[in-house]
């Protein structure tokens, strides 16, 4: 590990360090010759960069090549214990968590029923989940490079509290973010759950290869993650994708039950809206939206009617979205989109054809309940690497690898990211801008 008397890299060298690291992260164990060929750097420069990355503890020797004829060559791989990312998906029903190492591989994960008794009990639960996962990995919370909390609502630019989270009583209080940061110890960033689902689907799910798409996130609440030209969009005030507040003049029932706090469109297609519609139509024994979906699959005519109504409502929203954003793909995600998307796709497409000249491809999330955590892990890895290499660029020594490093960055730069299961390779991650 380099210490204070080590070399102080210039900005150019810091860039070379990160580029080489991300190449190794993308390709897996590689030798000097491969790095030279891929980066265009000279062999002496590559040798120097590899030595520095070794001294920083960011990579490790990973064996030797066995090519014949000729001597074997040393190959290098990412040191998985050089950093840790904790991802938390705070939903109305479940808190899902995942701890990943610097290769992007999953080290530990868990899912707990959300405790919404009070804001304090939920924050305590987040701390307990974090301690459970870090203990499983035999590290402490102080060793986590980055925590990403996926949550309903959002943090607007210039503010330090959550907004538009009506389904979480007390979640918008001014003290909540500070209390969560104190509880989790490591640097914490907050991101809207629909946005993270879009990141997850782009890197690991059904939106791979798409540059312009949206994830319509349907569950207790309703939101949308927007990716245009390969970039996740937040909008001027962080409100991009808040489709729960769309005011669609569809029928008297929608107008009657629209609630400003929840949003007019959310009052039409959220889980409580679907259940209320089922009860109103006579499906009184349905206790949850999955039960409504199951009844529809079994041929129940009332449940089928509920699905048709919800699909029509969604089609009207998608028509509006398509007219403004022109996405190539619309992904149905969240509990409703993942759990009932197979029932909704066909009637949505049929209605959309009848009411709109726009016809984006429709798909159901392939990540399901893991989409938010998948996106949070990818975002967290980017932020962790920003933190590490900002430290390098500032000419300061890194602490022992795995230790918390100061100076969080909110940007996500281009670069290689590794898949969540076993560190398999994937392409560079999308960029994130306001």
Task: Give tens-digit pLDDT for 8-25.
Answer: 546 787 888 999 999 999
291-294 CB contacts, 8 Å cutoff, 24+ apart? 292/340, 293/339, 293/340, 293/343
Evaluate whether 188 touches 180 at the Cβ level (below 8 Å): yes
The per-residue pLDDT for range 252-295, each reduced to its tens digit, is 444 444 444 678 899 999 999 999 999 999 998 999 999 999 99
Mean pLDDT of 77-84: 93
Q: What share of the chain is helix, strand, coil (3-state, %, to 5)?
A: 45, 20, 40
Are 56 and 170 part of one and the same domain?
A: no
Residue 170 lies in a domain: yes
Are 225 and 352 part of one and the same domain?
A: yes
Residue 1 lies in a domain: no
Euclidean distance between CA atoms 289 and 341, whole angstroms: 12
Cis peptide before 69, with omega less than 30 degrees from 0? yes
Are 212 and 359 part of one and the same domain?
A: yes
Are 233 and 271 part of one and the same domain?
A: yes
User: How many other C-beta atoms lie within 10 A of the C-beta of residue 25?
Assistant: 23
Euclidean distance between CA atoms 383 and 147, whole angstroms: 9
Instruction: Residue 327: give its domain's CATH number.
Output: 3.30.420.40
Entry field: residues in the chain: 434
Are 168 and 316 part of one and the same domain?
A: no
With H, G, I as helix, E, B as strand and everything else as coil, classify residue 418: strand
Residue 133 lies in a domain: yes
Q: Left, alpha or beta for 334 (phi > 0: left; psi -120 to 50: alpha)? A: left
Q: Which of 28-37, 50-59, 404-413 has the weakest average pLDDT?
A: 404-413
The per-residue pLDDT for range 368-393, each reduced to its tens digit, is 999 999 999 999 999 999 988 888 87
User: Which of 390, 410, 404 is closest to 187 using CA atoms?
Assistant: 404
User: How many other C-beta atoms lie within 10 A of the C-beta of residue 159?
Assistant: 13
Are 96 and 112 part of one and the same domain?
A: yes
Residue 149 lies in a domain: yes
User: Angle of helix 43-56 relative to helix 32-39, nearest 10 degrees?
Assistant: 110
Residue 136 lies in a domain: yes
User: Which of 87, 170, 132, 130 is closest to 376 using CA atoms?
Assistant: 87
Residue 5 lies in a domain: no
The per-residue pLDDT for range 155-168, each reduced to its tens digit, is 998 888 998 988 88
Residue 3 lies in a domain: no
Mean pLDDT of 59-80: 81
* Number of separate domains in the chain: 3
Q: Is the pLDDT of residue 398 over 70?
A: no
The per-residue pLDDT for range 401-431, each reduced to its tens digit, is 333 332 332 223 333 333 333 333 333 344 4
Are 309 and 422 part of one and the same domain?
A: no
pLDDT at 7: 45
Are β-strands 231-233 and 222-228 bridged in parallel, bridged antiparallel, or unpaired? antiparallel
User: How many other C-beta atoms lie within 10 A of the C-beta of residue 180?
Assistant: 22
Among 337, 366, 395, the domain-final residue is: 366
User: Which of 370, 396, 399, 382 is closest to 102 using CA atoms?
Assistant: 382
Domain that holds residue 167: 82-196+370-433
pTM here? 0.85
pLDDT at 424: 35
């Amino acid at each position: 590990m380099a210490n204070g008397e080590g070399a102080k890299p210039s900005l150019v060298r810091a860039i070379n360090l990160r580029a080489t690291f991300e190449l190794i992260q993308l390709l897996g164990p590689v030798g000097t010759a491969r790095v030279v060929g891929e980066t265009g750097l000279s062999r002496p420069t590559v040798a120097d960069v590899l030595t520095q990355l070794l001294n920083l503890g960011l990579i490790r020797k990973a064996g030797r090549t066995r090519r014949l004829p000729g001597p074997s060559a040393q190959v290098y791989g990412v040191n998985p214990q050089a950093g840790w990312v904790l991802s938390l998906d705070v939903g109305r029903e479940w808190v899902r968590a995942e701890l990943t190492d610097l290769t992007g591989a999953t080290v530990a994960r868990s899912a707990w029923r959300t405790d919404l008794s009070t804001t304090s009990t939920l924050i305590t639960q987040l701390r307990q989940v974090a301690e459970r996962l870090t203990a499983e990995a035999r590290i402490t919370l102080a060793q986590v490079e980055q925590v990403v909390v996926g949550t309903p609502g959002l943090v607007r630019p210039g503010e330090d509290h959550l907004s538009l989270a009506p389904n979480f009583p007390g979640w918008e209080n001014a003290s909540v973010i500070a209390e969560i940061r104190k509880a989790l110890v490591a640097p914490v960033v907050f991101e809207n759950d629909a946005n993270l689902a879009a990141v997850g689907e782009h890197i690991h799910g059904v939106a791979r290869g798409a540059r312009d798409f949206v994830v319509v996130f349907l569950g207790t609440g309703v939101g949308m993650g927007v990716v245009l030209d390969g970039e996740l969009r937040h909008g001027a005030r962080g409100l991009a994708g808040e489709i729960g507040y769309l005011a669609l003049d569809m029928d008297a029932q929608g107008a009657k039950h629209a609630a400003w706090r929840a949003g007019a469109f959310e009052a039409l297609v959220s889980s409580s809206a679907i259940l209320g519609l089922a009860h109103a139509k006579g499906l009184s024994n349905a206790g949850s939206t999955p039960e409504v979906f199951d009844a529809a699959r079994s041929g129940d005519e009332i449940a089928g009617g509920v699905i048709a109504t919800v699909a029509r409502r969604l089609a009207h929203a998608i028509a509006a979205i398509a007219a403004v954003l022109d996405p190539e793909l619309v992904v149905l995600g969240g509990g409703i989109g993942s759990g009932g998307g197979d029932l909704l796709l066909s009637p949505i497409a049929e209605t959309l054809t009848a009411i709109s000249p726009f016809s984006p491809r429709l798909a159901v999330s392939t990540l399901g309940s893991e989409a938010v955590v998948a996106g949070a892990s990818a975002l967290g890895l980017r932020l962790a690497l920003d933190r590490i290499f900002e430290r390098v660029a500032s000419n300061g020594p890194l602490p022992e690898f795995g230790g918390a490093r100061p100076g969080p960055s909110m940007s996500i730069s281009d670069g290689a990211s590794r898949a969540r299961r076993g560190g398999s390779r994937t392409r560079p991650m999308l960029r994130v801008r306001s």
